[in-house]
Amino acid sequence: MDDFSKTVIGAVDKIKDSVIKIEVYNSKGAKNQPVGTGSGFVFSSDGFAFTNSHVVQGATDMKVTLMGGEQVAAEIIGQDPESDLAIIKISPSKFSVSKLGESSNLQIGQLVIAIGNPLGFQHSVTTGVISGLGRTMRTQSGMLIDNVIQTDASLNPGNSGGPLANSDGDVIGVNTAIIQGAQGLSLSIDINKAKSIAHQLINNGKVFRARLGFMLQEIELNKKIKSHYGLKNKKGLFIVKIEDNSPGSRSQINEGDVIVEFNNKPINSLFDIFKELSQESILTMVDIAIIRHTDKHIFGIFPERNAA
């Protein structure tokens, strides 16, 4: 057997038993009507599992099928539609737990493996490579999702909520969407952000976040710019678009600027700024440092509570 096949098989063996099939029902009169299926994966010994918010949205009942075919009950612990993440908890049973990895050191071109239940075909495996990192993208439904991992691993309806794993079988992302009409363009939510959101959902049942109104993309900083201004970060956040009627639109910041510092801290990634915007204390004027062409500017900006 070739080395590539051995790598994929080894990784799948480590994670497949934690992957679950989720069947969602909605009460209509005296009957529960099936409204859809999706995927998920168990990440804790007490039965907490990741899936997508759009998978369980509006569910009045759920059935979860484990790898061995056993069906168990589950409840929704909390969901965050803005990141399209939800946490469910399955009833006590014999299940396996996935190992959550680290997404800060991912590289474009890296092998990835997606597992899920596309179109009802349980525990299907596809492979691909990472095509892009650190992006904010708008899905078909109009939802703006940041900390996105872009891959060419094939996803189909039913894959939503399943794990994206690396060659070691560690989960590095939660599969969330495909872009209709595009070829080989699938999106997964960065596992570092997913872990942070899971912590808030399990402890508070909701996620706090402030908003700036920026569509962002991570980029490498010019070495001369870094040296000239003594910047400690390797990357910055390129402002692709500024939404109307947002804190960004009311500031002096322009599309095309590159964020290098926020709240007096270096910004290397979308996760860095997500962490800052996850604190209620951020709802005041803060400094934001940007590079515009070759000049560095520091402006004030007022993050606002996200109403989503």
Which are the catalytic amino acids?
54, 84, 160
Question: How far is Cα 17 from Cα 93, in angstroms, rounded to an integer?
Answer: 13
Contacts (Cβ under 8 Å, ≥6 apart) of 118 = 124, 155, 156, 157, 158, 159
Burial class (CB in 10 A: 0-12, 13-18, 19+), 103: buried
Q: What are phi and psi of 100, to 5 degrees?
A: -80, 130
How many angstroms separate the Cα of 9 from the Cα of each of 2, 13, 115, 124? 11, 6, 12, 12
Provide the β-strand partners of residue 303: none
CA 169 to mean position of chain CA atoms: 18
Helix (H) / strand (E) element for 152: namely none
End-to-end CA distance of the chain: 50
How many angstroms separate the Cα of 81 from the Cα of each of 30, 86, 171? 28, 8, 21
Q: Other CB atoms closer than 10 Å to residue 14's CB: what's the count?
A: 16
How many angstroms separate the Cα of 39 from the Cα of each of 19, 51, 122, 216, 277? 7, 6, 9, 28, 29
